[in-house]
Amino acid sequence: MPLFTRKEENENSRIGLYASADSRESIPKYKIPEQAQDMRTVYHLVHDELMLDGNSRMNLATFCQTWLDEYVHKLMDECLDKNMIDKDEYPQTAEIENRCVHILADLFNSPKSASTLGCSTTGSSEAAMLGGLALKWKWRQRREKEGKPAGKPNLICGAVQVCWHKFARYFDVELREVGMEHGRYNLTPEKVLELVDENTIGVVPTFGVTFTLMYEPVLEIAEALDKLEKEKGLDIPIHVDAASGGFISPFVSPDLVWDFRIPRVKSINVSGHKFGLSPLGVGWVIWREKEDLPEDLIFRVNYLGGDMPTFALNFSRPGGQIVAQYYNLLRHGKEGYRKLQQACLDHGAYIAEKVEKLGHFDILYNGKGGGVPGACWTLKPGDHGFTLYDLSDKIRSRGWQIASYPLTGAAADITVQRVLIRHGFSRDMADLLVNDYTRCVRYFEEHPVREPLTQQEAGGFHH
Ligand SMILES: *Cc1c(COP(=O)(O)O)cnc(C)c1O
């Protein structure tokens, strides 16, 4: 039975949207409706519901792109129906993916950038899993060749993003995570040497640590491992988690050596949808040379037509993000990326300077020595009458989302507050933010919170 008679349907398109029957009654929320509904009305109901989400441009907790130019929107629309895995049907999308791989291999100074391997992923998480798997396979091949047991692999890292905890658990690798200490937030060569043994499949420095935005010292760690190899014969590869830094450092600090210029760095992951400036849903993993990716991790599928190599955890996936990444690489070039990222770094330093002047905060990071654009700070010791969680909570009432969270390891008693600055942010927005932040601090100075919120009560931000 049709939901509406012809007369009613005509009536529906004639009367105002919010006077229609679908608008006047509650829509089903946890069951699919029995009947079809008018698409305009349903569109507006869904659209309106999304008003309850935060404003993504004011979300200073995320590393991901929230501003995309009109041509990215156009290309995404044009690619909406293209499955990137159908490489035979959409050979030009496949070609574009391939170009991006070699552009990035070249940007990361691979000695064989024209012939090396890599692929797009859904983000750095999938890219990290693939990089980690290649390390595990290589290690196991080495061990089996030497006739040694290969049952207890371990991976050494600093305070990593959750994807490495997932990798370790999903793929049965012991994670030797070096927690932070007061005054030492990064993985150090000394800590690596303490933990390394013959079962270490690799070391993963993070180039742009989630907690602090800092770069871990890849070169120093590599040099310590060079020395270890000379002394003990252990040859330990490095995978760099450059989710953010991979699209920042090559442009704003090209002389900083962290990439394939270091022979020990065998693979790198980077998020296209973070500082790669592309829409959500794209990351990349690149190997130094094709020999660094074990052949038997590559599957060949023939049921799409042609013989297509694939190395991924996913199968079907939209092609638009890849195309948009290519557009961004061409459109911005080195100059564009450099200027955009530098502007964001400058805004971050500017905000840190203003926040410091408020008198309550110690600046932990302002991006001036290199790192991800943004800033983070802690409360100075002593009673301020408010916590960082209170501030995050209060400034949310103006729409800004600013993360507060504890550090890790022995530094877990330190709470930090962090702002990320991305493409689409201006000095004007920085001033608006600083004004709102100042107002919140002044409010708490006049109305101290007697019983500060615990992290749980404040809701916490998870990134
Ligand atoms: C964001 C991030 C990840 C996860 O990347 P996605 O692209 O969100 O999957 C991994 N590592 C680091 C250092 C990150 O910043």
Q: What is the DSSP string of 81-132?
A: T-BTT-TTTSHHHHHHHHHHHHHHHHHTT-TTTTT--EEEESSHHHHHHHHH
Helix 70-78, helix 320-357: angle, nearest 10: 150
Atom number of ligand 1 nearest to Cα 463: 1
Contact between residue 269 and residue 124 where contact means Cβ atoms under 8 Å apart = yes
Whole-angstrom distance, CA of residue 121 vs CA of residue 132: 14
**pLDDT tens, 36-66?**
888 888 899 999 999 999 999 999 999 999 9
Q: Ligand 1 test: best mutation among 271, 282, 285, 376, most atoms within 8 Å of CB?
A: 271
Q: Where are the domains of the chain?
A: 6-53, 71-329, 338-458
Q: Distance from the CA of 271 to the center of ligand 1, in angstroms? A: 7
Atom number of ligand 1 nearest to Cα 242: 13
Contact between residue 463 and residue 61 where contact means Cβ atoms under 8 Å apart = yes
**Residue 9: per-residue pLDDT:** 56
**pLDDT tens, 70-121?**
999 999 999 999 999 988 889 999 999 999 999 999 999 999 999 999 999 9
Q: Distance from the CA of 128 to the center of ligand 1, in angstroms? A: 8
**Residue 462: per-residue pLDDT:** 42
Atom number of ligand 1 nearest to Cα 274: 7
Q: Distance from the CA of 113 to the center of ligand 1, in angstroms? A: 24
Q: Distance from the CA of 243 to the center of ligand 1, in angstroms? A: 5
Q: Distance from the CA of 391 to the center of ligand 1, in angstroms? A: 26
Determine the residue type at 283: G
User: Hey, is 424 helix, strand or coil?
Assistant: coil
Q: Residue 155: which of 96, 194, 204, 115 has the closest Cα?
A: 204
Atom number of ligand 1 nearest to Cα 127: 9
- For ligand 1, residues with CB inside 6 Å are 63, 123-125, 128, 161, 163, 206, 208, 210, 241, 243-244, 271, 283
Q: Residue 344: which of 67, 100, 70, 159 has the closest Cα?
A: 67
pLDDT per 10-residue tile (average), the chain, 463 residues: 55 75 83 88 92 96 97 98 91 95 98 95 98 98 96 97 98 97 96 98 98 98 98 97 98 98 98 98 97 91 70 92 98 98 98 98 97 98 94 97 97 97 98 98 92 55 42
Which residues are 284's β-sheet partners?
120, 270
Atom number of ligand 1 nearest to Cα 209: 13
Q: Ligand 1 test: best mutation among 161, 215, 317, 325, most atoms within 8 Å of CB?
A: 161
Q: Distance from the CA of 413 to the center of ligand 1, in angstroms? A: 24
Q: Distance from the CA of 256 to the center of ligand 1, in angstroms? A: 21
Q: Distance from the CA of 124 to the center of ligand 1, in angstroms? A: 5
Confidence (pTM): 0.94
Q: Distance from the CA of 284 to the center of ligand 1, in angstroms? A: 11
Residue 355, both tokens: 């926040």
Which residues are 157's β-sheet partners?
177, 204
Q: Distance from the CA of 463 to the center of ligand 1, in angstroms? A: 9
Q: Distance from the CA of 126 to the center of ligand 1, in angstroms? A: 9
**Atom 3 of ligand 1, residue of closest alpha carbon:** 124
Q: Ligand 1 test: best mutation among 120, 124, 269, 420, most atoms within 8 Å of CB?
A: 124
Which distant-in-sequence residues (6+ apart) come within 8 Å of 389 by Cβ?
404, 415, 452, 453, 454, 455, 457, 458, 460
Q: Distance from the CA of 44 to the center of ligand 1, in angstroms? A: 33
Question: CB-side exposure of 225: number of CA atoms within 13 Å?
Answer: 29
User: Going by CATH, does the domain composed of 71-329 fall within 3.40.640.10?
Assistant: yes
Whole-angstrom distance, CA of residue 69 vs CA of residue 71: 6
**Residue 15: per-residue pLDDT:** 77
Strand order across the beta sheet in which 361-365 lies: 361-365, 374-379, 415-420, 403-406
**Atom 1 of ligand 1, residue of closest alpha carbon:** 243
What's 51's DSSP letter? G
What's 283's DSSP letter? E
Please identify, in words, the CATH class of the domain defined by 338-458.
alpha beta
Residue 94: how many CB atoms within 10 A of its CB?
Answer: 19
